[in-house]
Amino acid sequence: MKYRQLGNTDLKISELSFGTWAIGGSWGKSDDQEALKGLEKAMDAGVNFFDTADVYGDGHSEELLAKATKGKEDKVYIATKFCRAGDIHDPKTYSEEAVTAYCEASLKRLQRETIDLYQIHCPPMEILQSGQVFAVLDKLQQQGKIRHYGVSVETIDEGLFCIEQPNVKALQVIFNIFRQKAITELLPQAKEKGVGILARVPLASGLLTGKFTKQATFEADDHRNFNQNGEHFNVGETFAGIEFSKGVELSEQLSWIAEGRENMTRAALRWILDHEEITTVIPGFKTVKQVEDNLQATAVPAFSKDERKRLADFYQQEIHPNIRGAY
């Protein structure tokens, strides 16, 4: 496992890490024992960073991480998020009282004294611009409840605004072969400012594994069913904002990326890792097999300059016009 510095913080984290939305909930049926085995497998392979949120299974993924990392608290870093357990548009959700309560509840579930990276969970731009929440986070940092803080954003403009805030140390962004907009401005500017980048939705909710057909169906409690058109949150979180059947077509046209890289999953993750500005990529998982497959992405060949150009052109011509939602 290779490690990359998280911006200008003291955290050096595995370039391939894992998100825990799927093992918490909203991705169909999951098995806690399988999830714990998957977390163990990841840590055995050198993964020292996991991303979660208080709303993933109403705190369940935080509790699973507490079990998995018990006794390794000083070696394994955890990033969690807050605000979506409340009304994200209400300024009171970001008050000192509310954020402190969210933070303390996460600390209790994680069984930790400090959160390594505390992230605002996709807040509206007007909340960010008011600045109140950053002052609250500064105070929590001074109290030792959080080590560093960052923001999970939906749009490039939100990201560009956040990296101007003096103590924002990390940005979490949707970044994958279907979502390349960050390459032009956001990635280089974040690097210049010393802000780390966590790449989420790296496989476009599974589209970039190349395993789906247009006939695929998803369980009722899977966001790939209930949020296909952005009914419950930003449509970009589900299939990177692309309508499912169109996404299947586009992924079929990208099958060539697997040549010499074993499969599309590993290739899609490798493409993200080829961008030096990315600190870590955080695919989700529900099974040990998925953890093992994702881990192999660090070992497959990088993309050549010509291949990257081919993917950039394909994005501009075929993918970008089909992306829905704030971006």
Write out pLDDT tens, residues 282-294: 999 999 999 999 9
**Both tokens of residue 294?**
């994702």
**Count of positions (residues) in the chain:** 327
- DSSP helix, strand, coil percent of the chain (3-state; round to 5): 45, 15, 40
| Lowest pLDDT segment from 234-238, 273-277, 316-320 | 234-238
Q: Is the pTM of this model over 0.75?
A: yes
Q: What is the pLDDT of residue 269?
A: 98
Class of residue 316 by CB neighbours under 10 A (exposed 0-12, middle 13-18, buried 19+): exposed
Write out pLDDT tens, residues 154-193: 999 999 999 999 999 999 999 999 999 999 999 999 999 9
Q: What is the pLDDT of residue 169?
A: 98
> Strands 12-14 and 18-19: what pairing?
unpaired
Instruction: Please provide the DSSP assignment of 102-167 as one string.
Output: HHHHHHHHHT-SSEEEEEEES--HHHHHH-HHHHHHHHHHHTTSEEEEEEE-SSHHHHHHHTTSTT
Enumerate residues 6+ apart whose C-beta is below 8 A from 61.
Answer: 20, 21, 23, 24, 25, 52, 53
Cβ(207)–Cβ(237) below 8 Å: no
Write out pLDDT tens, residues 186-225: 999 999 999 999 999 999 999 999 999 999 999 988 899 9
Cα–Cα distance measured from residue 303 to residue 308, given in angstroms and rounded to the nearest whole number:
6
CA angle 108/114/119 to nearest 5° reads 90
pLDDT at 52 exceeding the cut of 60: yes
With bands split at pLDDT 50, 70 and 90, how would you rate the model's confidence at 314? very high
Q: What is the pLDDT of residue 24?
A: 85
Cβ(88)–Cβ(124) below 8 Å: yes
Quick one: which H or E segment has residue 21?
helix 21-24
Q: What is the pLDDT of residue 29?
A: 65
pLDDT at 74 exceeding the cut of 60: yes
pLDDT at 107 exceeding the cut of 90: yes
pLDDT at 28 exceeding the cut of 80: no
Average pLDDT, rounded, for the chain: 96
Enumerate residues 6+ apart whose C-beta is below 8 A from 240.
Answer: 174, 176, 178, 179, 201, 204, 205, 207, 247, 323
For residue 49, which phi and psi values (nearest 5 degrees)? -150, 130
With bands split at pLDDT 50, 70 and 90, how would you rate the model's confidence at 27? low
pLDDT at 129 exceeding the cut of 60: yes
Q: What is the pLDDT of residue 221?
A: 86
Please count the other Cβ atoms lying within 10 Å of the Cβ belonging to residue 29. 8
Closest CA relative to residue 106, chosen from 169, 149, 75: 149
Please count the other Cβ atoms lying within 10 Å of the Cβ belonging to residue 66. 17
With bands split at pLDDT 50, 70 and 90, how would you rate the model's confidence at 266? very high
Q: What is the pLDDT of residue 104?
A: 98
pLDDT at 26 exceeding the cut of 60: no
* Percent of all residues in the chain with a pLDDT value above 90, rounded to a whole number: 95
Average pLDDT over residues 36-62: 97
Write out pLDDT tens, residues 131-164: 999 999 999 999 999 999 999 999 999 999 999 9
- Alpha carbons within 13 angstroms on the beta-carbon side of residue 60 total 15
Q: What is the pLDDT of residue 25?
A: 67
Q: What is the pLDDT of residue 34?
A: 94
